[in-house]
Homo-oligomer: A and B are copies of this chain.
Amino acid sequence: MFRKELKVLDCTIRDGGLINDYQFSDEFVKAVYASTCQAGVDYMEIGKKLCVSDTYTREKFGKWNFCDEDDIKRVVDSYEGDYRPTLAVMYDVGRVDTDSLAPVDQSVVGMIRTACYVADIDKGLDLVKRSKDQGYETTINIMAPSAAIESDLIEALQQVEDSPEVDYLYFVDSYGAFYSEQITSYLNLFKKHAPNKELGFHGHNNQQLAFSNTQQCIIEGVNLLDATVNGIGRGAGNCNLELLLNFLKNPKFDARPIYKVIQEQMIPLRKEIEWGFNDIYGISGHLNQHPRNAMKLRSNAKNKDHCYDFLVDSLADS
A 207-248 contacts with B by CB, 8 A: 207-213, 215-216, 219, 230, 240, 242-243, 246-247
Let me know if B215 and A247 touch, CB within 8 A.
no
Distance between A12 CB and nearest chain B CB, rounded to angstroms? 15
CB neighbours (8 Å) of A216 from chain B are 180
Contact of A306 among B212, B213, B263, B306 (CB under 8 A): B263
Let me know if A243 and B307 touch, CB within 8 A.
no
Let me know if A307 and B259 touch, CB within 8 A.
yes
Main secondary structure of the interface of A (DSSP, over half): helix
* C-alpha gap A308/B210 in the complex (Å): 23
Let me know if B282 and A240 touch, CB within 8 A.
yes
Distance between A229 CB and nearest chain B CB, rounded to angstroms? 11
How many chain A residues touch B (Cβ–Cβ < 8 Å)?
Answer: 41
CB neighbours (8 Å) of A312 from chain B are 256
Let me know if B262 and A279 touch, CB within 8 A.
yes
Contact flag A212-B180 (CB < 8 Å), given A246-B286, A312-B256: yes
CB neighbours (8 Å) of A267 from chain B are 305
Which A residues are closer than 8 A to B by beta carbons?
1, 179-181, 205, 207-213, 215-216, 219, 230, 240, 242-243, 246-247, 255-256, 259-260, 262-264, 267, 277, 279, 282-283, 286, 305-309, 311-312
